[in-house]
Structure 1
């Protein structure tokens, strides 16, 4: 379901007064986040890109965020702003390490909690900087590697984690939304395996940006769910194109694009002719969860954190291309096939598979693709999964192989694939592999006894 499909959407938020809450400790949050892999540092910026902000959230377990980079939003509103952060949510935001703290393993945990009287607290932080925007003719890329609160079903009622941005003119005004712009890079409710991305602009209600819903779209996390594993959520604001574009990505796949010519020139200028600041928060309740059954209620489980591995902002002064991931990949989250670091014989194309985006195709004997820095951790991976499709003629087939660190090394595993019913008829194929731990460069290699194309690949990952 698209976030622009008439879902009632509430809005902005920040500091009012500090709530006094009991410090409950980090034990429950750390237990819930135990499945989080070790810290994967933010990727090194590729050629042509400059890193202008990064936080890897390295620090002692139980410590707060770096207040040189982040400020806490506390209470139930911005000063003089709309009540309940303008969204109808029910929690009180605090700066307590019970709600916002590092886990000691390179992750930030934002943890909603409920006290004995049923009152909810949670955390919301925003960057002190509010000048994030692309240069003229260039690009801005904002990305974070996040595991949503690992809770689903009735226990997740009311959960509303988000990674988003607000236009700088909102600070100190708090009543000029949505004209000053909002970019929701990741929103989720009710523990659904869904990532919503939305641009808010114009006037409310209605207007050129369909408020309060905004201009949005959604997609699902592939491989591991959004709740069960880390995924990378990104926004790329591109002033090198005509018209100007704002694109949203999940694990490297562009699933939503907003273009300047979708609204009038004044609306676009009001939303984009200034910098932005970044926000991370977990709300409880409000209009968005209400559209999917409401909550929180007595069955909602407190104590499930949103875990954030890193937040990174890059700028490019020229057109360039979307920076590919260069290492720091999680073996147990989907690696999008088109995110290769190097290749031979590979063609990218639009896919109609679930989640959209692109696949790699025209794959035949001798072709290959390289994915640097895949982290398998200390528990051995023994399974390989790939999302493949084939429209190969009868009798045409080949092997999809996994090799580590060199194309000359023997495959650690492979599977055979032939016609699946069409080049966009997708299936997930498993294969056993030799035990793999640590971090490796992964090569997908394609081998066949004849020269014809035999497979397309959308994504792959690994399992224990």
Structure 2
């Protein structure tokens, strides 16, 4: 489901033309753990365990609100009519290991619902390897006239969309699961290139659909999966439901610029939402939705979301370089960002800074760098310094924070970063911190009130 699209009249025919005979499947429970997958390495997941009537983890998810991104297209670019909120009436954990996104209509006829997107926006395959994005979920259990206008979606957008909101579809979009109007059908769609027209036939996109295997999409949980495979030539994108492939495209279908624009950036972020009305359900129905017959109160129920990688080189989302000498870092020497023990978010790229080297680029809200075993000694450190750069737009800024031994510990110090004039315009920013002695795992965390990347980091160090 995109944010500047769709007039998907193609979908109207696909909804009825692609009806695949369903195989019989055994009944499955409403909650299951994230499965292990031989040959794949789990990169990120959320199984939505937590107390009932609480919001999903803010470490994992950004909650979108309103009728569009600030400065972006109205009604999320799709014509959908609902207002997204952060109310647990629309978005909550159910206490049984599921996330529930519920569409509600008030007495005045106004609809509200929920939409979340991952904090991380760097999901992509390792060079020469594969990426898989998967969710086990149940579509809103409503059909017929009562379902008109319901539009659940599980999808991914290219990271450059954050903070721009007008570069779709060039940055790429993978619709892993879409459904409208309570039809027993799952759509898988790729969006790319230019709008209208182009190699992805925008605003329709390149898609296919089929009935859910066994039980209908609405009456049971099914597993929806997308794979991006760079281990083959041409590279392939594949869509599955319950392990059955129903759609694919390959690199050979596109010109080099289109493919590079879609795959050459930092990666993708993952979204879940339940829209009401808009171009897709209206196009399939042949009239405006929702209608007076549409029932309020049905939910998209999500058991888990997970991202795996396989093969290739080092996965781009996490580094595991040991510290020099293997015995931890000296707090008072340059601690190189790209050598972090673990990394959430950002991408490693060359730094055109004094001495050259590499940096972790385009870090944003919820991202972090962990350095295991940083040695402060008995004298202690009372200052933190970061070598940073930012090409963020005017008004976009955030905090670079230092935490000890846990990514959720209270910061011992921080400094603010806004634009420095470019992503390679480096400066050293100091901050006072509470005195630190001994040896600690140091977490450098990044916090902002908006989702756009706001800083790149070359190195950090501490002083007396």
1:21-420 alignment to 2 at 5 Å?
37-46=29-38, 48-274=39-265, 275-293=267-285, 294-318=288-312
Contact (CA 8 Å) 2:9, 2:284: kept in 1 or not?
no
Q: Is the 8 A contact 2:223 2:241 kept in 1?
A: yes
- Residues 71 and 150 (structure 1), Cα distance of their counterparts in 2 relative to 1, 3 Å cut: same
- Matched residue SS, 1:292: helix
Deviation at 1:238, TM superposition (A): 0.2
CA contact (8 A) 1:4 1:216 kept: no
Distance 1:196 1:318 in 2: 29
Secondary structure of the corresponding residue to residue 75 of structure 2: helix
1 CA distance for matches of 2:184 and 2:31?
23
Distance apart, 1:36 and its partner CA: 8.7
Cα distance in structure 1, aligned partners of 2:30 and 2:241: 21
Native 8 Å contact 1:4 1:217 kept in 2 = no
CA contact under 8 A between 2:84 and 2:113: conserved in structure 1?
yes
Answer whether contact 2:101 2:299 (CA < 8 A) is retained: yes
Distance in 2 separating the partners of 1:227 and 1:38? 13
How many angstroms does 1:4 deviate by? 7.5
Distance change in 2, residues 1:5/1:292 (3 Å): closer
Deviation at 1:263, TM superposition (A): 1.2
Q: Which runs of 5+ in 2 are unaligned?
A: 1-6, 13-26, 314-464
User: What is the rounded CA distance, in whole Å, between the counterparts of 1:262 and 1:218 in structure 2?
Assistant: 19
Q: Deviations over 1:82-112 (max 9, x none)?
A: 0000000000000110001011111110000
Which residue does 1:6 correspond to in 2? 10
Rounded to whole Å, the distance in 2 between the matches of 1:54 and 1:309 is: 11
The Cα RMSD (Å) is 1.8
Contact 2:11 2:284 in 1 (8 A): no
After TM superposition, give the deviation of residue 222 of structure 1 in Å. Answer: 1.9
Distance 2:151 2:157 in 1: 17
Unaligned runs of 5+ residues in structure 1 are: 9-34, 320-464
Query: What's the secondary structure of 1:186's corresponding residue?
Result: strand
Structure 1 stretch displaced more, 171-180 or 37-46: 37-46
Whole-angstrom CA distance in 1 between matches of 2:221 and 2:249: 25
2:180 and 2:127 mapped to 1: Cα distance? 36
- Equivalent in the alignment of 1:346: none
| CA distance in 2: counterparts of 1:5 and 1:256, whole angstroms | 18
Q: After superposition, what is the alpha-carbon deviation per residue over 1:10-37, rounded to whole angstroms, capped at 9, x for unaligned?
A: xxxxxxxxxxxxxxxxxxxxxxxxx993
- Greater displacement, 227-236 / 37-46: 37-46
Task: State the Cα distance separating 1:45 from its structure 2 match.
Answer: 3.1
Q: 1:281-304 CA distances to partner (integer Å, 9 max, x unpaired)?
A: 000000000112231111100110
> What is the aligned partner in structure 1 of residue 376 from structure 2?
none
Superposition pairs for residues 422-461 of structure 1, below 5 Å? none
Q: Is the 8 A contact 1:4 1:215 kept in 2?
A: no
What SS is found at the alignment partner of 1:314? strand
